[in-house]
Amino acid sequence: MTQTPSPRLNGPSVTLQRLSRTRASRVVQDPLCRPLRSVPWTSPSSVVEEAASMEGEVTAARLDLTRAQILAFRRRVGALDERLPRGSRSLRRAAWAGLQDSMPRAALLSIHARVDGTEPTTWEDPSLLQLWGPRFNAYVVAARDLAVFSLGRLPDDAATRRRADDLAARLHAVLDGGEMAYSKAGRALAVPPNALRYAAPTGTVLIRWDGARKPTVRTVPPPGVDPGKARLEMARRYLHVFGPTTPEAFAGWAGIPARSGTAAFEALRRSLVPVRTPIGEAWILAGDEESFRAVPGTPAPARLLPSGDTYFLLQDADRELLVPEDDRRGTLWTSRVWPGAVLVAGEIVGTWRRSHDTVTIWPWLRLSGAARDSIEAEATSLPLPGVVGQIVVRWSG
């Protein structure tokens, strides 16, 4: 699913690259990683206002997006309304922003929610690979997109980059073309095993984790891609899958400094459109504007999204947009391991967890018989590795 060139918007052009660099400073918390320091940021409203003062009245109205439009867009680009046909092209589209795989076989279940014919071994498809990706979490990505999710996160400062390169080189020497449990590799290098993930942004370190045993590590040749270009492609993908969004949200998701997220959005400025949403101002890709304006499609009857699925891998106000009720948000985004989300007719209506061959559903409201049947059909079709026989579905509450 290659991003097409951004179309020219209707109305007078706005020369965004000429705008003043005067900005307000706001304190940014990296919501998925560590606290980040205060960074300068240009809001979408200031872009429009400054452009108007420079080039006269802007007649093209700012795009106002409703909650329904935003969620419909995210489901559509995330292939959650209708499953894609099986095949490597569909797997790449399903993993366009990567698939978090921090819980055993979470990425596999995310694929199942998006691609027809998913089997327990689909995650091992040759077109996919595992690495420590955004925020140094385990991710499944398309093999051809290795550079995006590794080099795209390469540290900007020279000293940190040298440490990553040095660690990767030492690991490569220890492995000598082989594969090793990451705990053993850590001991061989006299570093904590978890520290090996800091070599992942070099694009030369891959992992394999089947959810049962400890991860193994191996090294590969570095991708022949400029890290700066990889960073911008990662930002475009985040905008496409999570949009509307902000530089702060991108930085938090990627696990990079806030100033790096801001710089990426600055570099993409000419291909972005400022929008107003129910939770504030944000940006979208210009190439996605038509899709946001399109009539929403028919949502799927039900999908079971695993812990950490892209659709609800959100923070702060974005969570409020997806789940308006505070008490319900607390049961989905818990302080420990998140449960999965039950998506019915385009709305999250509950949570779920599994233990061996049993899937337990916690609905937030009374569901129709048809909705319950759709949920059970999804549950019994989950491609759970090692499960022999029928999956048992239990309802709680």
pLDDT given for residue 43 in this prediction: 55
pLDDT given for residue 212 in this prediction: 76
Average pLDDT of 87-95?
A: 99
Average pLDDT of 353-374?
A: 97
pLDDT given for residue 44 in this prediction: 60
Q: Is the pLDDT of residue 167 over 80?
A: yes
In a domain, 345, yes or no: yes
Q: Give residue 182's domain range.
A: 152-219
Does pTM top 0.75 for this prediction? Answer: yes
Q: How far apart are CA 251 and CA 297, in angstroms?
A: 31
Q: pLDDT over 90 for what percent of the chain?
A: 81
Question: Which domain-ending residue is among 180, 200, 219?
Answer: 219
Q: Is 136:197 a contact under the CB 8 Å cutoff?
A: yes
CATH number of the structural domain spanning residue 187: 1.10.10.10
Which amino acid type is present at position 188? A
In a domain, 13, yes or no: no
Q: How many domains does the chain have?
A: 2
Q: Which residue has the higher pLDDT, 22 or 147?
A: 147
The mean pLDDT value of the chain amounts to 88
In a domain, 325, yes or no: yes
pLDDT given for residue 397 in this prediction: 75
pLDDT given for residue 61 in this prediction: 61
Q: Which residue has the higher pLDDT, 39 or 270?
A: 270
In a domain, 84, yes or no: no
* 232, two tokens: 């911008």
Question: Which domain-ending residue is among 171, 186, 219?
Answer: 219
Average pLDDT of 295-301?
A: 95
Confidence of residue 327 (pLDDT cuts 50, 70, 90): very high
In a domain, 106, yes or no: no
In a domain, 60, yes or no: no
Q: What is the pLDDT of residues 366-387, one digit of tens each?
A: 999 999 999 999 999 999 988 8
In a domain, 361, yes or no: yes
β-pair partners for 35 = 29
Q: How far apart are CA 224 and CA 206, in angstroms?
A: 16
Q: What is the pLDDT of residues 198-226, one digit of tens each?
A: 999 999 999 999 887 889 999 999 999 99
Question: Which domain-ending residue is among 219, 245, 271?
Answer: 219
Name the CA dihedral angle for 378, 381, 386, 387, rounded to a multiple of 10 degrees: 90
Closest CA to 56 of 18, 22, 14: 14
In a domain, 356, yes or no: yes
Q: Crossing angle of helices 227-242/67-77, nearest 10°?
A: 120
Q: Is the pLDDT of residue 75 over 90?
A: yes
